[in-house]
Structure 1
């Protein structure tokens, strides 16, 4: 999985030539999926990259309240991908994504 420091939304957006509209889902989907697979990021959308535990597990019954670095990195990557996805939508398509909080939820 790509680290959060290597994800630059602007760089990915520069490779997107089609915005999702009413009549081009197959073309848009092919472009986005190919791009994200090429950068090993599609797992955020197909569920193969599951978030790591949010809190550190000390033992079988104790969990800390401190958010783990791995979870923060995963969340940063996920939010970057959500921003990327939103930026590839037409105004009409954006209406269907309002309220999405994660890339897979979009």
Structure 2
């Protein structure tokens, strides 16, 4: 499975080999840091943080008409997003997968995981600081 960015073609399998952590209850900060910087390195994190939004699905013919044909740019964006969603899912523990079931795009999965695990990580940090 391959994805492409504006500058290069990237194989998801190659990216998966660079992400050594699987998301579990106790490592969200480390996992998200690693995933973010691997994806930033290939200029494809935009699917997660919304800096790379989907192009128009249908071509606009004129001010009144829109074609029913899906644009090539939209198809390419969806293929890349699906590949990134697959990559994200491949880095999850069995327990973490339940939080992305039903998501259709990488951004929604990222937000769901962030909502679930970021608060746990912050609470854990505060607890450890209190113990010290």
Fold-level match, TM-score > 0.5? yes
| 1:44 equivalenced with 2:47 (yes/no) | yes
Q: Please name the residue that 1:29 is paired with.
A: 32
Q: Please name the residue that 2:97 is paired with.
A: 94
Which residue of the other structure, out of 17, 20, 35, is the alignment partner of 1:17?
A: 20
Shift of 1:32: 0.3
Q: Please name the residue that 1:68 is paired with.
A: 71
- What is the root-mean-square deviation in Å for CA atoms of aligned residues? 1.3
- For residues 9 and 100 of structure 1, what CA distance do their matches in structure 2 show? 19
Q: Please name the residue that 1:57 is paired with.
A: 60
- For residues 64 and 106 of structure 2, what CA distance do their matches in structure 1 show? 31
Detail structure 1 runs of 4+ shifted over 4 Å in the superposition: none
- For residues 105 and 20 of structure 1, what CA distance do their matches in structure 2 show? 16
Q: Secondary structure at 1:104's aligned position in 2?
A: helix
Identify which of structures 1 and 2 has the higher relative contact order when contacts are C-alpha pairs closer than 8 Å and 6+ apart: 1
TM-score normalised by length of structure 1:
0.95
- For residues 108 and 10 of structure 2, what CA distance do their matches in structure 1 show? 19
- Structure 1: gaps spanning 5 or more residues: none
Larger radius of gyration: 2
- Structure 2: gaps spanning 5 or more residues: 110-132
TM-score normalised by length of structure 2:
0.77
Please identify which structure carries the higher helix content: 2
- For residues 33 and 69 of structure 2, what CA distance do their matches in structure 1 show? 39
